[in-house]
């Protein structure tokens, strides 16, 4: 099966071209022949099946009773033809007694229009497929059969997920980056305001990080940032959110936490950071950090920008007082 190299529109064009090709071949074969002589020289079923088989996507046709009446080679390579043909699609593929609401063929028979969806299919190793279903109508416009096409888009899905992950993660630490952290902060702030629940935001910065980079080198500086991110993640709850905000700044969001809880967690992390010896095998040293803690009880802060400013102010107060300390500010402290 091909990967998703074509869009749904291109797939529809492929099906249309296949139908047109069949018609052209029938016309060419019919030149100079009577209807009886054409029947002797042209096997319509074979011609259609061979045309059907050139498509690498899984394709099968079901009738109004949802019985599979025809399948292409790609489908038969995955399922034995003798087991597939004549079986009802919802029974064969999904082990159901009746068509499900999301059944593509059911959608087509009810609406008379094409139907498209992307989904994971358990009967196909849980891979992702772009599923398209097309009505096959008689001369009076009655939908008497339905063509179902499965295009494997698993590799595309993985690529898209990877790109999405790269878009929100910091390359060095693996934490979410500043842009995505601000989005999460805005979401959590709105949620806390709506529920009337507490929210704590902590900002960490490494004291004299530029001096550390200059004296120990950027390699050790990068090692230090990665170790700090590991310590942060290991000291918060699974529901808390950690992110890299700047070069040497980290943010931690504590949903459903109050000022007391936030201060306890911040002091615990601060204590571990300052006692820890960061050793990359070549250089070993201790550091100090400044921590700003902002507590919002969904009272006076107007938006998440104010909340960020409050935590930033707390961190700068800690730095201005010599660093190596934790400073807590409440929403009433933002002036």
Domains annotated on the chain, with CATH: 8-158 (3.30.450.20), 169-333 (3.30.70.270)
Chain position carrying tokens 């001369």: 139
Query: Which tens digits make up the pLDDT trace of 37-77?
Result: 445 445 667 777 887 888 889 999 999 999 999 999 999 88
Give the pLDDT of residue 299.
53
- 296 pLDDT band (50/70/90 cuts)? confident
CA distance 204 to 227: 14
Give the pLDDT of residue 36.
52
CA distance 320 to 335: 18
pTM attached to this predicted model? 0.61
- Label residue 6 exposed, middle or buried (CB < 10 Å: 0-12, 13-18, 19+): middle
Q: Who wins on pLDDT, 103 or 25? A: 103
Residue ranges in 100-151 assigned as alpha helix (H): 104-111
Query: Which tens digits make up the pLDDT trace of 252-269?
Result: 999 999 999 999 999 999
292: helix, coil or strand? strand
């Amino acid at each position: 099966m091909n990967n998703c190299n074509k869009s749904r529109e291109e797939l529809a064009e492929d099906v249309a071209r296949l139908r047109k090709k069949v018609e052209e071949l029938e016309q060419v074969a019919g030149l100079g022949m009577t209807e009886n002589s054409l029947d002797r020289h042209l096997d319509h079923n074979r011609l259609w099946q061979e045309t059907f088989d050139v498509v690498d996507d899984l394709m099968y046709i079901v009738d109004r009773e949802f019985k599979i009446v025809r399948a292409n080679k790609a489908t038969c390579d995955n399922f034995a033809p003798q087991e597939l043909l004549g079986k009802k699609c919802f029974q064969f593929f999904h082990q159901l007694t009746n068509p499900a609401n999301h059944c593509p063929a059911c959608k087509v028979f009810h609406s008379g229009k094409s139907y498209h969806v992307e989904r994971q299919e358990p009967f196909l190793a849980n891979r992702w497929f772009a599923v398209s279903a097309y009505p096959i109508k008689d001369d009076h416009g009655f939908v008497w059969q339905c063509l179902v096409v499965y295009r494997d888009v698993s590799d595309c899905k993985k690529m898209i997920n990877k790109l999405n992950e790269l878009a929100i993660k910091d390359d060095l630490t693996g934490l979410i980056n500043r842009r995505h952290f601000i989005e999460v902060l805005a979401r959590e702030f709105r949620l806390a305001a709506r529920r009337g629940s507490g929210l704590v935001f902590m900002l960490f910065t490494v004291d004299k990080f530029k001096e550390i980079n200059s004296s120990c080198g950027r390699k050790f500086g990068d090692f230090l940032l990665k170790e700090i991110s590991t310590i942060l993640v290991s000291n918060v709850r699974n529901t808390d959110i950690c992110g890299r905000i700047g070069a040497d700044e980290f943010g931690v969001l504590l949903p459903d936490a109050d000022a007391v809880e936030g201060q306890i967690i911040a002091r615990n992390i601060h204590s571990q950071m300052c006692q820890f010896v960061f050793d990359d095998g070549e250089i070993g040293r201790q550091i100090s950090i400044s921590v700003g803690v902002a507590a919002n009880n969904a009272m006076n802060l107007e938006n998440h920008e104010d909340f960020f400013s409050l935590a930033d102010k707390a961190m700068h107060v800690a730095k201005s007082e010599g660093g190596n300390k934790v400073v807590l500010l409440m929403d009433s402290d933002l002036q």
